[in-house]
């Protein structure tokens, strides 16, 4: 009896340990207090800006320059590459060409052409200052320093840096931070004082108006906004760079320390709410991910180079996962699967990948950018972060499927080669204020490098009634419209996440869109995207139930040519020399081709962006209460007009019933619910076969995962 009790006790202790391990594995690596105004936020080891400046002086001593990302050692390392055959050498020649090109232009002038923004001027000055200051330090020709100072001097003579639209001030301040730091030893004291005076007057004082919430005029009070958008990282990053560049000067130290205190805390908390801890999704889309993240990279890099640490600013698992967000929400070329206020199909081999690869010591990430540099236009940020030696030979055999239950996006591919087929499904939340469109359920499809179904991209921010324009509404995306009217065709604030996910040969993701379409009379709307990899087939399937017979549109946008079969049951989309067969598997409806323009029932909006290069494949159903729309997409081999094989319709519920054994509760993910079930099995079934297995990693692959659950379940059920 004593041995039996001991065995039961051991088994119970083992269960508790296992469940704790599972729970720990599910909780993000770093937990932070909620930033809701009612609880203090844990800012790690950071104290305040004065401490940062003290750390900077201790690291470098007073008036030591360069210290903002670049250093004498980094400049020397880059100089050694001049004239070589490396990618870094190519980049240096691009720098020389860019600096020489700038030398032939006039200095920038104060221009607010749209009556709102100085932004393009601020960005142009920043790029010029950075390129010229880098060229001076790397090539040693004083002409670059002279012209660089001329750009700074011209900006000092501007009446202001347009703080009303504070992004303009922020971008300008970045240029001043880099110019002051990298030209410090070339300038005389009078020049340095002139630059500092204008930085304090036109940059530091206006940002403290924001931080202290003093009376001022702003197009957008970015600092007070919650939860905020990319401005949080652009504005804090730029001003903190400047504070680090000027912060050991007597006339700047006090205000610089205040700026660092306020800016760091805002950036730290924004990182932890902007990058999803679940899957790294950045809700503003891929383009704004790049803008926000490279400014985070500038801020983190500057803190590390100046003070020796970024105080944990970027050490967040959601940020690390956001690399996968970009990688998987891009095609194999790589071009973005755009959603929200992004440009259509932009190149995603961004410079910020160099910083992220180094920060997280995952150099395969940096290698993506390094491969792009020879063919891309010059970007001075490449020189700040490139480390070709570390990235050389870095490779990663990444899974082809990405997504999970509760996430905002999912994607699938049958290979990482450009010849493969790639598809993605966008879910998430409709938040128009933060660069959202009404695009929940939109899908994207590329094969052999040809984009067959795509997003149209952004609309002009100054457009009257922009929220009702074609590119913002659901009808301008690859999703559904139900009972169209002048009202929004998806609900503002609707949240529709991934409800089921599975990888493998028949990989799929499912999202419940009912919340988005409930105002349109929907009782249930479920969309699934499945990829059958060995057949190179993608299925988009909608199961729809309305509260009364109504009207339903299914849309898919393309720049390709669409040829619909005589019976309307299939179509061929041609992009260049590539063809895609698209077939209706379900019984209802026929394909038609429509222009990419507002439906007659929609609110009329004038002066929209021209979308005439797009067409959309459409299915239109009327007087319909319940239906399934199932569409298969299969690339055609050369010379073929139809595929050799087509799938049959299978209910989405049958897709989810085939989830792998490791998902014990069948919700599409390995999570705490599975751990609870496992605990019940262990307590109910005495089994000594578990004794010789390691504490949780039964598959001995170095991690606790669904494979381990599957092994345990099968052992216990024998």
CA distance 126 to 175: 4
Q: What is the DSSP string of 118-158?
A: -HHHHHHHHHHHHHHHHHHHHH--HHHHHHHHHHHHHHHTS
Q: In the prediction, which pLDDT does 707 show? A: 55
- Residue 21 — very low, low, confident or very high, per pLDDT cuts 50/70/90? very low
CA distance 179 to 184: 8
Q: What pLDDT digit, counting tens, does each position of 40-53 carry?
A: 455 666 789 999 99
Q: In the prediction, which pLDDT does 391 show? A: 85
- Among candidates 374, 325, 379, which has minimal Cα distance to 350? 379
Higher-confidence residue: 130 or 37? Answer: 130
Helix (H, G, I), strand (E, B) or coil at 324: helix
Mean pLDDT, residues 187-197: 98
CA distance 37 to 638: 61
Say yes or no to pLDDT of 218 above 90: yes
Q: What is the DSSP string of 156-211?
A: HTSS---GGGHHHHHHHHHHHHHHHHHTTTTS-HHHHHHHHHHHIIIIIHHHHHHH
Q: What pLDDT digit, counting tens, does each position of 564-602 carry?
A: 999 999 999 999 999 999 999 999 999 999 999 999 999
- Residue 674 — very low, low, confident or very high, per pLDDT cuts 50/70/90? low
Q: What pLDDT digit, counting tens, does each position of 297-319 carry?
A: 999 999 999 999 999 999 999 99
Residues 6+ apart with CB under 8 A from 268: 41, 43, 44, 46, 311, 312, 313
Q: How many CB atoms sit inside 10 A of residue 460's CB?
A: 12
Say yes or no to pLDDT of 283 above 50: yes
Helices 166-182 and 189-199: crossing angle in degrees, nearest 10, is 160
Bond before 96 cis per omega within 30 degrees = no
**Range from 178-187, 367-376, 694-703 carrying the lowest mean pLDDT:** 694-703
CA distance 598 to 485: 11
Structure token pair of residue 586: 């379900």
Q: What is the DSSP string of 74-112?
A: HHHHHHTTTTSSSHHHHHHHHHHHHHHHHHTSPPP----
Q: In the prediction, which pLDDT does 397 show? A: 75
Over the range 679-688, which residues count as b (16 or more CB within 10 Å of their CB) and which as e?
A: beebeeeeee
CA distance 263 to 342: 26
Structure token pair of residue 74: 């980094």
Higher-confidence residue: 516 or 19? Answer: 516
Q: What pLDDT digit, counting tens, does each position of 5-15 carry?
A: 444 444 444 44
Mean pLDDT, residues 398-418: 95
Q: What pLDDT digit, counting tens, does each position of 604-629 carry?
A: 999 999 999 999 999 999 999 999 99
CA distance 567 to 553: 19
Q: How many CB atoms sit inside 10 A of residue 118's CB?
A: 26
Q: What pLDDT digit, counting tens, does each position of 97-112 carry?
A: 999 999 999 999 999 9
Over the range 154-184, which residues count as b (16 or more CB within 10 Å of their CB) and which as e?
A: ebbebeebbbbbbbbbbbbbbbbbbbbbbbb
Helix (H, G, I), strand (E, B) or coil at 644: coil
Say yes or no to pLDDT of 83 above 60: yes
pTM of the model: 0.86
- Residue 670 — very low, low, confident or very high, per pLDDT cuts 50/70/90? low
**Range from 142-151, 354-363, 388-397 carrying the lowest mean pLDDT:** 388-397
- Residue 3 — very low, low, confident or very high, per pLDDT cuts 50/70/90? very low
Say yes or no to pLDDT of 229 above 60: yes
Say yes or no to pLDDT of 200 above 50: yes
Q: How far apart are the first and last CA of the chain?
A: 26
Say yes or no to pLDDT of 655 above 50: yes
Q: What pLDDT digit, counting tens, does each position of 357-393 carry?
A: 999 998 999 999 999 999 999 999 999 999 999 887 7
CA distance 13 to 4: 14
DSSP state of 607: S
The phi, psi pair for 517, rounded to 5°, reads -105, 5
Q: What pLDDT digit, counting tens, does each position of 445-466 carry?
A: 999 999 999 999 999 999 999 9
Query: In the predicted model, what is the mean pLDDT of the chain?
Result: 89
Query: With pLDDT > 70 as the criterion, what percentage of the chain qualifies?
Result: 85
């Amino acid at each position: 009896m004593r041995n039996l009790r001991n065995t039961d006790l051991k088994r119970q202790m083992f269960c508790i340990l296992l469940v704790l391990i599972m729970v720990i594995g599910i909780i993000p690596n770093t937990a932070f207090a909620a930033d809701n105004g009612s609880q203090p936020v844990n800012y790690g080891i950071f104290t305040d800006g004065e401490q940062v400046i003290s750390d900077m002086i201790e690291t470098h001593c007073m008036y030591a320059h360069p210290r903002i990302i670049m250093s004498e050692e980094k400049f020397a390392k880059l100089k050694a590459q001049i004239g070589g055959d490396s990618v870094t050498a190519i980049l240096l020649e691009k720098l020389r060409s860019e600096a020489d090109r700038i030398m032939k232009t006039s200095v920038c002038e104060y221009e607010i052409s749209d009556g709102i923004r100085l932004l393009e001027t601020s960005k142009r000055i920043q790029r010029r200052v950075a390129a010229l200051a880098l060229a001076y330090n790397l090539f040693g020709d004083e002409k670059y320093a002279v012209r660089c100072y001329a750009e700074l001097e011209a900006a000092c003579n501007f009446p202001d840096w347009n703080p009303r639209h504070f992004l303009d001030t922020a971008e300008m301040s970045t240029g001043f931070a880099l110019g002051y730091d990298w030209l410090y030893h070339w300038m005389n004291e009078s020049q340095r004082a002139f630059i500092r005076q204008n930085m304090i007057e036109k940059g530091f004082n206006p940002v403290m108006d924001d931080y202290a919430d003093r009376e001022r005029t702003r197009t957008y009070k970015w600092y007070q906004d919650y939860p905020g958008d990319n401005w949080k990282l652009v504005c804090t990053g730029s001003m903190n760079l400047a504070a680090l560049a000027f912060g050991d000067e007597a006339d700047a130290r006090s205000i610089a320390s205040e700026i660092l205190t306020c800016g760091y805390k805002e950036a730290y908390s924004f990182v932890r709410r902007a990058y999803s801890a679940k899957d790294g999704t950045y809700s503003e889309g891929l383009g704004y991910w790049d803008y926000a993240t490279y400014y985070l990279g500038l801020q983190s890099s500057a803190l590390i180079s100046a003070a020796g640490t970024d105080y944990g600013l970027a050490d967040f698992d959601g940020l690390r996962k956001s690399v996968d967000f970009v990688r998987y929400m891009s095609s194999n070329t790589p071009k973005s699967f755009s959603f929200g206020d992004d440009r259509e199909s932009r190149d995603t081999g961004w410079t910020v990948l160099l910083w992220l690869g180094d920060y997280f010591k995952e150099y395969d990430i940096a290698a993506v950018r390094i491969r792009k540099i020879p063919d891309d236009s010059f970007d001075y940020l490449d020189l700040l972060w490139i480390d070709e030696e570390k990235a050389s030979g870095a490779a990663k055999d990444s899974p082809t499927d990405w997504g999970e239950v509760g996430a905002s996006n999912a994607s699938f591919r049958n290979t990482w080669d450009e010849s493969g087929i790639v598809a993605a499904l966008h879910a998430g939340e409709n938040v128009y204020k933060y660069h959202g469109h009404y695009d929940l359920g939109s899908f994207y499809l590329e094969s052999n490098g040809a984009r067959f179904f795509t997003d149209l991209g952004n609309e002009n921010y100054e457009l009257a009634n922009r929220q009702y324009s074609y590119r913002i509404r659901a009808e301008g995306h690859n999703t559904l419209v139900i009972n169209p009217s002048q009202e929004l065709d998806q609900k503002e604030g609707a949240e529709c996440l991934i409800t089921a996910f599975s990888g493998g040969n028949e990989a799929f993701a499912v999202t419940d869109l009912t919340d988005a379409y409930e105002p349109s009379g929907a009782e249930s709307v479920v969309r699934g995207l499945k990829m059958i990899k060995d057949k190179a087939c993608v299925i988009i399937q909608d199961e729809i139930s309305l509260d009364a017979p109504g009207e339903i549109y299914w849309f898919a946008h393309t720049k390709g040519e669409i040829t619909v079969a005589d019976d309307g049951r299939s179509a061929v989309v041609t992009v260049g020399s590539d063809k895609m067969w698209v077939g209706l598997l379900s019984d209802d409806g026929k394909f038609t081709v429509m222009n990419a323009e507002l439906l007659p029932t929609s609110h009329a909006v004038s002066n929209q962006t021209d979308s005439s290069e797009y067409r959309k494949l459409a299915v239109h159903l009327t007087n319909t209460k319940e239906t399934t729309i199932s569409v298969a997409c299969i690339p055609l081999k050369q010379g073929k007009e139809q595929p050799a094989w087509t799938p049959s319709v299978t209910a989405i519920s049958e897709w989810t019933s085939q989830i792998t054994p490791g998902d014990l509760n069948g919700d599409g993910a390995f999570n705490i619910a599975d751990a609870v079930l496992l605990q019940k099995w262990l307590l109910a079934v005495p089994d000594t076969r578990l004794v010789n297995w390691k504490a949780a990693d039964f598959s001995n692959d170095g991690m606790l995962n669904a494979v381990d659950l599957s092994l345990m379940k099968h052992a216990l059920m024998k």
